[in-house]
Structures are given as C-alpha cells and as structure tokens.
Amino acid sequence: MNLIVDVGNTQVKLAIYYNNQLKKKLVGTLDNFETMIARLFQEYENITRAIVSSVGKLKTSQIKFLEKKVKLLVLSHELDLPFTNLYTTPETLGVDRIALVSASVQQFPHKSVLIIDAGTCITYDFMTASNDYLGGAISPGIRLRYKALNQLTANLPLLETRKPDTLIGDSTQNAIHSGVVFGVLNEIDGIINAYAEKYSDLTVILTGGDAKFLSNQLKNSIFANSNFLLEGLNFILEYNSQ
C-alpha cells in the first residue's frame, strides 16, 4: 500500500494507492500536514512505502516525521525515471512536472502527449511517442493573472474567478473577467493547435486545480484528469521499487 504526498504551492494532497487504485485522498495545508498523515496511518495500517513531491516548502522535520513511519522516496530528477529527459537543465525541472510526464508514459504509451497543468502556474509538458521528454512552457495561472492586475495597477480590484458573461466586458469588473478567462482559454487552445499541427497523433491531458473550470470552455478535445499528478507519483514509486 502506497502513500503519495504532493506538496504544491498552495495545497498539500495526500493519497493512498493499492494495486494502482486510488483508495483515499485528502487535501489540506502544511499547517495540518502531520495531523493528516497520522489520520491516514490510523486508517490504513498496511502502508509500506511513500513518495514525496514538494514544490512548496516541506520542512526537514516533516520529512523525518514520515521517515519514522514508512520507507520514503523523495522525488528528484536524479531518480530512475520512466522516460528520457532531454531538458537542457534537468536539475531545474519541477518535480510536479516530472510526475505528470511519468503519468503520461504509463497511461498513453507510444503516443505524443501534451500535459497541461492549470494551477498557480499553467505548465505545458510534451512527451514524444518515442518516450523523449522535450520540455514545454510555463505561464501565469488564472489566480496569478487576477492578482497581478490588482497588485501591479493603481485602481483595478481583486476579483474572484468567474466565467465571463460576454466577450466584451461592459464594466471594469466584466472586462477583467473577460481578459483573464478568455486570455487563458485562447492561450491554451492556441498552444494545443500549434502542437497538433506538428504532431498529428497528439493526446492532450488537462489537470490541476482549474481543470474543471476550464475543461468545458476549451474548443479542443482534451482528457481532464484531476488526479493525473498523483497517478504519476504512484507510478514513479512503483517504478523505483522493482
């Protein structure tokens, strides 16, 4: 039984996998990390292995807390990975992106795959049909765009994310919603189209915190999977346990 720990920029996700099946998922913050871990170990006594992916700041004490309970693997670019990493600076490739690419290898073998993770940032990662990871792109996510308009200007308000009523914003608030949301949608659709022109067999995965909000508004056909990163982490743990 595997424990999956994903520490992102804003949330901590914990998951239990058994025979590659998701049995439990918890979402919280670093403040209640140890409480959530203890709850899972109380509920599942047969946890034998764990993997940690941390783009946020997981404390050394929290790592040691886990090591006392289970055999622990900390994800980095130096691990044995199920793909060829052609990133020119592999040491700077985020562990979240490594996990997403690994999931694509497991679930879509021998296919060209574009993984779009719509969270704090929007990341684009591309895997070729020959199992080569080429790289991708990073851009501001939806909330970053709303916050930037508020924090880097004198008079624009900070708004909650909302689907625009119309393309043409007839007020400052509506104009912000139109600019942010349609800007993101057109960016994603445009990038998908650019990849599809070059790779006719392209499969597109959309994941991340804003995947549900965006999926029904995109023009292109995509597979939406909110647990794609967790599935990738579980695959890496299994891959390094053979």
By the 8 A CB rule, do 107 and 85 touch? Answer: no
For residues 5-30, b (16+ Cβ closer than 10 Å) or e, as one string? bbbbeeebbbbbbeeeeeeeeeeeeb
Domain 2-74 identical in fold to domain 84-233: yes
Residue 166: its pLDDT value, please? Answer: 94
Domain ranges of the chain: 2-74, 84-233
Residue 9: its pLDDT value, please? Answer: 75
Residue 45: its pLDDT value, please? Answer: 87
Given the residues 31, 80, 96, 170, the one annotated as active site: 96
Residue 50 CA to residue 117 CA, distance in Å, equals: 23
By the 8 A CB rule, do 118 and 111 touch? Answer: no
Residue 43 CA to residue 33 CA, distance in Å, equals: 16
Q: What is the pLDDT of residues 233-242, one digit of tens each?
A: 999 999 998 7
96 tagged catalytic: yes
pTM: 0.92
Q: What is the pLDDT of residues 80-133, one digit of tens each?
A: 999 999 999 999 999 999 999 999 999 999 999 999 999 999 999 999 999 999
Residue 101 CA to residue 125 CA, distance in Å, equals: 7
The values of phi and psi at residue 131, to 5°, are: 75, 30
Helix ranges (DSSP H) in 4-57: 33-43
Domain 2-74 top-level CATH class: alpha beta
Q: Is 231 exposed, middle or buried (0-12, 13-18, 19+ CB in 10 A)?
A: buried
Mean pLDDT to the nearest integer, 199-212: 94
What is the pLDDT of the chain when averaged over all its residues? 94
Specify the fold of 84-233.
Answer: Nucleotidyltransferase; domain 5 (3.30.420)
